Amino acid sequence: MPLHSAGILLWRLRDGQPEVLLAHPGGPYWAGRDEGAWSIPKGLYENGESPLEAARREFAEETGITVDGEFTDLGERRMPSGKRVHVFALEGDADPARMHSNDFQMEWPPHSGRQQTFPEVDDWAWFDLPTARHKIHKGQRPFLDDLERFLAGR
């Protein structure tokens, strides 16, 4: 059974153009990687959670910010890894300099027996859609297209 996660694509208009908030994953595997490394803040569902509940919880864990408002369901897509990701768009604004995420532990360096703690997210930034298409994981790019279609239809 594939893993299911959900996230929130926060967007805003700047000079009439949409920008999206993306998160850069923390930890040693992503250190130094930029293009194709950024992500919509998201995470796995917990037992009994709806996709929107999971998305809101994960957004708070990965940014330190609680969001509410009129969510637009952008649907669910299968990622190249096989994971299913459900994304909701929300218009809003937030200052990346004030964001913080939860931490995780892993053995690092590999096979060292040493556990180290890393932030789940180590950076956040606003990107216009053309830039976001280069920064975001390739499997999540279609959500940017979905957002663009939604905004064009408003």
- The per-residue pLDDT for 80 is 92
Question: Could you state, in chain order, the average pLDDT of each consecutive group of 10 residues for the chain (154 residues)?
Answer: 91 97 95 96 93 97 97 97 96 97 95 96 98 97 98 92
What is the predicted pLDDT for the residue at 1?
A: 63
| Domain count of the fold of the chain | 1
Residue 29: C-alpha distances to residues 38, 81, 106, 107, 109 (Å): 13, 16, 11, 12, 11
Q: Which domain holds residue 24?
A: 4-152
Cα(38)–Cα(105) distance, integer angstroms: 20
pLDDT of residue 46: 86
Please enumerate in sequence order all residues whose Cβ is within 8 A of that of 57, keeping only pairs 6 or more positions apart, or say none: 43, 46, 49
Residue 154: the pLDDT is 86
**CATH classification of the domain holding 113:** 3.90.79.10
Q: Return the structure tokens found at 112.
A: 């060292």
**What is the model's pTM?**
0.94
